[in-house]
Amino acid sequence: MPAAKTRKLFVLAALAATVAMTGCVSVPQAKRPADINEYAAAVVWKRDDFKKRMEFSSFDEGANTPDTLFMRAYKFDDPKVPSIYQIYVADYYVDEWRFYTSANDINGNRMDFVQIARDVGSCGSYTGCSKTEHLALNVTREYLEAHVASGIKFQVSGRAGSEVFSIPGVAIAGFLKVIPK
């Protein structure tokens, strides 16, 4: 291998190792939509031919945090099968497992809670292990429509802790604008 190519590979390898060791990686920040139309344009949708449905996902409200928070909907081809609307949460934290089992909105309404998964991330000798709990809250289109003006604020709770999340009303309006009734 020519010396110039060897030096270039060495420099690239050294740079990659330095970035990996220092943790100096620049992660692009997701630009939060500004209005209903931008939120609507941020909705991702795809067709599932095997399940005969359309799948919609809203902008991730947790995009600039370690958490994930978005709305999703499944609209079936068969008009007799009701559409499914959910709020999806992946809560990332570093401490003891919280073991989430329930959720309530700011008005005290108990939300239909579905526990999906629990993941252990990286572990450090001084920091402990990072954890992520994945869950979904089943809601109706009517529930979402009723919260367009106020947004949705809710708390998920477990035996060892709780966390509060919120979705702005403009995000709900933009999401619903894309999904046919």
Task: Tell me the per-residue pLDDT of 48-91, one tens digit each, with 9 for 90 and over.
Answer: 999 999 999 999 999 889 999 999 999 999 999 999 999 999 99
Q: How many CB atoms lie within 10 A of CB 106?
A: 14
Distance CA 12, CA 73 (A): 44
Confidence of residue 125 (pLDDT cuts 50, 70, 90): confident
Distance CA 129, CA 29 (A): 25
So where are the chain's domains?
35-178
pLDDT at 2: 53
pLDDT at 23: 45
Distance CA 49, CA 46 (A): 10
Q: What percent of the chain clears pLDDT 90, i.e. is strictly above it?
A: 73
Q: How many CB atoms lie within 10 A of CB 109?
A: 10
The answer to whether the beta carbons of residues 48 and 55 sit under 8 Å apart is yes
- CB under 8 Å to 135, separation ≥6 — which residues? 88, 89, 90, 91, 100, 103, 113, 114, 115, 116, 156
pLDDT at 21: 42
Is residue 35 packed enough to be buried (19+ CB in 10 Å), middle (13-18) or exposed (0-12)?
A: exposed
